[in-house]
Structure 1
Amino acid sequence: MTSVQTTTDPGREPSNVAQAATGVTRAPLAWLPTRTDLVAAAGFTAIAVYVLGRQWRAPASGYLVESGQDQRMWEWFFAVAAHSVTNFHNPLGTVLQNYPQGVNLMANTAMFGVSLPLTPVTLLFGPTVTWTLVLTAGLAGTAFAWYWLLSRYVVDSRAAAAVGGLFCGFAPGMISHANGHPNFVALGLLPLILACVIGLARGAGTRTTVLLGVLVAAQILLGEEPLLILAIGFGIFTVAYLAGHPRLALPTIAAALRPLLLAAAIALTLTAIPLWWQFFGPQSYQFIDHGPMGNDLKALLQFPAQSLGGMLSPGQDVAINPTEYNAYFGWPLLALVAGAAVWLRHSPTARAAAITTAVMCVLSLGAELTVGRDGTGIDLPWSWLERVPLLESVLETRFAMGAIPAIAVLLALATERALRQRAALGPWLALLLVALVPLVPTPLPSVDRAPAPAFFTDGTWRNYVSDGSVVTVPLPRPEDARALTWQVDADFGFPLAGGYFVGPVGPDKVAKYGPADRPTALLLAQAQKSGLVPRVTDAERAQAVEDLRFWHADVLVLPPGKNAAVLRRTVQALIDDPGHRAGDVWVWDVRRQVP
């Protein structure tokens, strides 16, 4: 990579195309870590272990309480990837759940970039250990990667870079996603991608182009949505930066366009098969309609629940769920960011970062401004973008995640300036503590999960399964996906009807969470929810037989659980069979009834 002369004046206009393209006015340093870098990495790792400390107390059986059913789904993804490797199956799709239609795993962010390489860990220690390891390494690795980028391309001070890296790795959105979304936690490749883009804008050669293509391909196999959000955020940053230097815009584009296109071609070539499978393979879909999923305005100003500030000053619950606290920067931090933007107003980089922060936060508010869960009738920019291909499947609340690195840039730049201007150091550090201490995360709550029914763990299921599926009562679904764990414990010896995944429904192939709803599955779920045995008609009995045939069912299995007696009587009425106990479950062998 070529060098650029360092300048300490944050307001000086960059003297060449490379600087204009990146918003950087100092020379890049070596890629290799220094002793200070290792200390920073150790510190970030210690914080990540602290955040997930309760999960590490039982890494093979712990369950993050706020994950809902997401932990079960991700553990299943990790386990089925290892199963595919050891059995030489195609890892991109499977019929082990949602039998017989199956699941398009590439369209379900199964994170092949970690699930496949970590197959030995999953096989030796189980998918829960893999899950815990990925989350911990994801938090620490993301913090270090942004620290590395900031220290090489934005600031000279390692301490200032550490402030930015700390925020990037442990911002409220990162902590929230650590409950259940590793694809939004393991983001360490994103800063490396930006480093390559900066290098190419500075005239770096073919090796950097190839490296960029490989890194983008790897990120596609980790998570496409974070990559899309990063691209949008960096695009806004670049436009905002070049708007102040319009005479350099065309030379910058000319210098970067060809290597970027080549890198894109390399990435698409490397991921051609997975991407084809995702968009055109079995159980692919066009888009998923989430409905309105924008941030409430209060989500920008309040402290997250899983933080010191959230404990001492809880706000109104305006989040989608505990895994989607994508903003929650808190008013002190936003006030500090605004102040830093004014203080650094002569820095082109700071101005671009401030604009990026504002735009990404506005996009995260969705199509209509809501305050305290009340609509205001005010249309926002997302209302013009929500039907754009690729964007239509993004949860708009997550655009706030794109503001995190922009905020980190401002914090790093301001910290470095305070370190140089000693008189400002004390006030700046005091304000930084006021802004960041309320966001200090509390350890994520974790419990030991109940063991799987012995029917699955001791092999009793083998007496009831030939070549069809197991239908649990009720069927696994997004509200209760325990059966996925039981299937893993049985070493994937049978396919499951139903499941927890994203798949297409109807001729338009619009996606939903879970399988297409079969009448019998809905009836069983409603019986469990209501606690009432439904009145079963001949039509419903006929429908049950049809649904069992659709699922190629061998056996229905009712484990202990909520309203189990109601469910048992419902199944008995549906298939006119009393069933019998098999250890700790009730079973109905339907192989003769459902040819």
Structure 2
Amino acid sequence: MTATAVLAAAETRSRSRWRPWHARAWVPATYLVASVALYLGLWASPSGRYLIDSGQDQNQWEWFFAVTARSVTELDNPLFTTLQNHPEGVNLMANTTMLGVSVPLTPVTLLLGPGVTWALVLTGSLAATATAWYWLLHRRLGHSRLAAALGGGFCGFAPPVITHAHAHPNFVALFVLPFVVALLLRLWDGERPLRDGAILGLLLAYQIFLGEEVLLLFATGMTIFAIAYAATRPARARAALRPLGTGLGVAAAVSLSLVAFPLYWQFLGPQSYSGLLHGNAGNDLLAFVTFASRSLGGDDRTAGALAWSTEQNSFFGWPLVIMVVTLAAVLWRVPRARALSITVAVAALLSLGSSVKFDGEDTLIPGPWLLLSWLPLYESVLDSRLAMVCVPAIAVLLAMAVDRVRLLFGLPHWQRTPRLLWTGVLLAVLAPIAPTPFTVVDRAPTPTFFTSGMWREYVPDGGTVVPVPIPSPGDTTALQWQLDSDLDFRLPEGYFIGPGQPDRRGIYGAMRRPTSVLLREVRDSGEGRDVTEEQREQAAEDLRHWDAELVVLGPHPAEDALRYTVEDLLGPGHRAGGVWVWKVR
């Protein structure tokens, strides 16, 4: 019997079988309190506050939640819309709309607004992810409550998860994965492969509607672990092939029956694309021993020089790296620990990308990611995110270490001093990577022209408003105007992933039309342009393409330059409701 099993059995004997629910709820409650504390600034005014580190993503996600709610209530197709990028539209299934939460939370979005949905998804996902991993570690893997609580907390609040908790809820909502692991373990043990396979298929289908990239990374990590573990126990692995094969076959059949059409729409439907290239986006070697921007021991300047604040996927910090290496060496004879250590090492190596970087400089040393980057689906993965595979593997190693040390502490010769020393080591390793509260700012108010409904005097429902500058991945202000107008008008271009030309490779945003390019240049330079007659004719053609009813210029740092240019294109505008407007004739 393993040390973990001995400790779990002893703990089970020492407590009542019918322990009160409140005695078991303290761990999930602690996770929830911690999550709320991180987002307290956002919860003070979900509709009026903005997570500063999210860039333009908060606007995009709130827009996704609102569009999904509208599709549900009006029985529209939730996989496509022309509210952005009119008239071409946006393939929503090919974007991260998280239908798995946006559809069930439709009542919240309609009654309280997409800002509340955004805050609820982020806060709830952190707590739910930590709780689900805690459940797996305690109930399925047999770790003590303390060890499981530590491991679950690490899975929910580790730096690679927190870096996405500003802007990418699809990489925070990881609460389905522990239940997938539990079912895979049941299949490994040969328990009811048909039933468990069917349940697994349902969970996989649901995860696809939460985040496909997460599922691909998870499958990659599980494959690495399975190969490493099977190599240590080949006879046991051969015995498990039949139930595993049966269960996985049933899971694939159930899952595909539910997601076949959405996946067809994603890859072959209108505005689909053939892949998304990121270049060499691997982790810097130095990042692994550096503290993240939003870790207690980190700072923006040091971490920001190595990765964006929303993609610090490998910032575990040097104390944890030392501990993981030590645990791998000490527990190497334990098959599970050996396989976990190999998984951490391989995932970390893959996350280095196609060319290894050190301290911001490309070493030109080929990275192991080259082995996978050419494969279907992997071509669209941001390679640095492979480091997230390390998180649950490290969590299990930590739980194993805590339980083994607790067993040693139970021996007579272990006195108080070693216990305090071990506690101090854990604090020294984990305290510097503890997350700090997220920074929020007041959102810029939407002009009265939109909040009062004045825009309806110029544009019929379903018409197209052309904001200046045109919405893009770098400027999503107009999406908020559209939300505050109940999504009753359409926008050209926008922030989404769609096809480029000529090979339909995925790009962020739309293929920009000439007038959009001109206005963007004016926005960036802050200098107005004297336009040519050819540019006026092009503007007229672009407005016809967008089915434009109205051009609107709101408050902007380059407002004077933009107004000068638009008036040279379209003639004089007039002031209404805090914006400049030009009626398209």
Match of 1:182 in 2: 169
Question: Letter of the aligned partner of 1:383 in structure 2?
Answer: L
* 1:268 is aligned to 2:263: no
Question: Which of residues 536, 539, 545 in structure 2 aligns to 1:541?
Answer: 536
Cα distance, 1:377 vs structure 2: 1.4
Question: Which of residues 563, 568, 575 in structure 1 aligns to 2:558?
Answer: 563
* 1:452 is aligned to 2:446: yes
Match of 1:257 in 2: 245
Cα distance, 1:549 vs structure 2: 1.2
Match of 1:492 in 2: 487
Match of 2:11 in 1: none
Question: Which of residues 58, 68, 72 in structure 1 aligns to 2:59?
Answer: 72
Question: Which of residues 342, 366, 382 in structure 2 aligns to 1:355?
Answer: 342
* 1:437 is aligned to 2:435: no
Question: Which of residues 500, 503, 510 in structure 1 aligns to 2:498?
Answer: 503
Whole-angstrom distance in 2 between the partners of 1:565 and 1:332 = 52
Q: 1:242 to 1:70 in 2, by over 3 A?
A: same
Q: 1:355 to 1:426 in 2, by over 3 A?
A: farther
Cα distance, 1:464 vs structure 2: 1.4
* 1:244 is aligned to 2:244: no
Q: 1:154 to 1:429 in 2, by over 3 A?
A: farther
Whole-angstrom distance in 2 between the partners of 1:264 and 1:428 = 45
TM-score calculated relative to the size of structure 2: 0.94
- 1:470 and 1:557 in contact (8 A); partners too: yes
Cα distance, 1:561 vs structure 2: 1.0
Match of 1:224 in 2: 212
Question: Which of residues 253, 276, 279 in structure 2 aligns to 1:288?
Answer: 276
- 2:529 and 2:564 in contact (8 A); partners too: no
Cα distance, 1:393 vs structure 2: 0.3
- 2:355 and 2:365 in contact (8 A); partners too: yes
Question: Which of residues 322, 332, 346 in structure 1 aligns to 2:319?
Answer: 332
Whole-angstrom distance in 2 between the partners of 1:181 and 1:160 = 28
Whole-angstrom distance in 2 between the partners of 1:192 and 1:333 = 26
Cα distance, 1:150 vs structure 2: 0.9
1:457-472 to structure 2, matched below 5 A, reads 457-466=451-460, 468-472=463-467
Match of 2:329 in 1: 342
SS in 2 for 1:307: coil
Question: Letter of the aligned partner of 1:541 in structure 2?
Answer: R
Match of 2:581 in 1: 587
Whole-angstrom distance in 2 between the partners of 1:247 and 1:129 = 52
Question: Letter of the aligned partner of 1:477 in structure 2?
Answer: S
Question: Letter of the aligned partner of 2:459 in structure 1?
Answer: V
Question: Which of residues 64, 69, 72 in structure 2 aligns to 1:82?
Answer: 69
Match of 2:572 in 1: 578
- 1:300 and 1:327 in contact (8 A); partners too: yes
Question: Letter of the aligned partner of 2:533 in structure 1?
Answer: D
Question: Letter of the aligned partner of 1:462 in structure 2?
Answer: R
SS in 2 for 1:555: strand
Match of 1:27 in 2: none
* 1:166 is aligned to 2:160: no
Question: Letter of the aligned partner of 1:187 in structure 2?
Answer: L
* 1:528 is aligned to 2:562: no
Question: Which of residues 296, 304, 308 in structure 1 aligns to 2:292?
Answer: 304
Question: Letter of the aligned partner of 1:367 in structure 2?
Answer: S
Cα distance, 1:34 vs structure 2: 5.6
**How many residues are treated as equivalent by the alignment?**
565
Cα distance, 1:252 vs structure 2: 2.0
Deviation string 1:413-453 (CA, Å, 9 cap, x unpaired) is 00000110114644432221111000111100012202111
Whole-angstrom distance in 1 between the partners of 2:21 and 2:375 = 44
TM-score calculated relative to the size of structure 1: 0.92
Q: Which runs of 4+ in 1 moved over 6 A?
A: none
Q: 1:243 to 1:71 in 2, by over 3 A?
A: same
Whole-angstrom distance in 2 between the partners of 1:581 and 1:35 = 60
Whole-angstrom distance in 2 between the partners of 1:96 and 1:55 = 27
Question: Letter of the aligned partner of 2:271 in structure 1?
Answer: Q
Q: 1:532 to 1:455 in 2, by over 3 A?
A: same
Instruction: Decide which moves more: 216-225 or 315-324.
Output: 315-324
Deviation string 1:166-192 (CA, Å, 9 cap, x unpaired) is 100000011111100000011100111
* 1:515 is aligned to 2:514: no
Cα distance, 1:580 vs structure 2: 1.1
Instruction: Decide which moves more: 453-462 or 65-74.
Output: 453-462
Question: Letter of the aligned partner of 1:248 in structure 2?
Answer: R
Cα distance, 1:463 vs structure 2: 1.4
Deviation string 1:26-67 (CA, Å, 9 cap, x unpaired) is xxxx9x996554111101001101111111111232110000
Match of 1:483 in 2: 478
Whole-angstrom distance in 1 between the partners of 2:381 and 2:24 = 34
Deviation string 1:471-512 (CA, Å, 9 cap, x unpaired) is 000011011101111101100111101111000011321111
Match of 1:49 in 2: 36
Question: Letter of the aligned partner of 1:256 in structure 2?
Answer: L
- 1:340 and 1:410 in contact (8 A); partners too: yes
Question: Letter of the aligned partner of 2:537 in structure 1?
Answer: A
* 1:61 is aligned to 2:48: yes
* 1:148 is aligned to 2:135: yes
Tell me how large the CA RMSD over aligned residues is: 1.8
- 1:67 and 1:180 in contact (8 A); partners too: yes
The gaps in structure 2 that reach 5 residues or longer are: 7-16
Cα distance, 1:583 vs structure 2: 1.9
Match of 1:109 in 2: 96
- 1:581 and 1:587 in contact (8 A); partners too: yes
Question: Letter of the aligned partner of 2:86 in structure 1?
Answer: Y
- State, as a whole percentage, how many aligned pairs show the same letter: 50
The gaps in structure 1 that reach 5 residues or longer are: 1-6, 13-29
Cα distance, 1:201 vs structure 2: 1.6
Whole-angstrom distance in 2 between the partners of 1:535 and 1:245 = 74
Question: Letter of the aligned partner of 2:427 in structure 1?
Answer: L
Whole-angstrom distance in 2 between the partners of 1:545 and 1:270 = 45
Question: Letter of the aligned partner of 2:260 in structure 1?
Answer: A
Whole-angstrom distance in 2 between the partners of 1:33 and 1:399 = 40
Q: 1:533 to 1:248 in 2, by over 3 A?
A: same
Whole-angstrom distance in 2 between the partners of 1:197 and 1:33 = 30
Instruction: Decide which moves more: 405-414 or 316-325.
Output: 316-325
SS in 2 for 1:477: coil
1:422-433 to structure 2, matched below 5 A, reads 422=409, 423=414, 425-433=419-427
Q: 1:33 to 1:397 in 2, by over 3 A?
A: farther
Whole-angstrom distance in 2 between the partners of 1:341 and 1:77 = 43
- 1:476 and 1:483 in contact (8 A); partners too: yes
Cα distance, 1:316 vs structure 2: 4.9
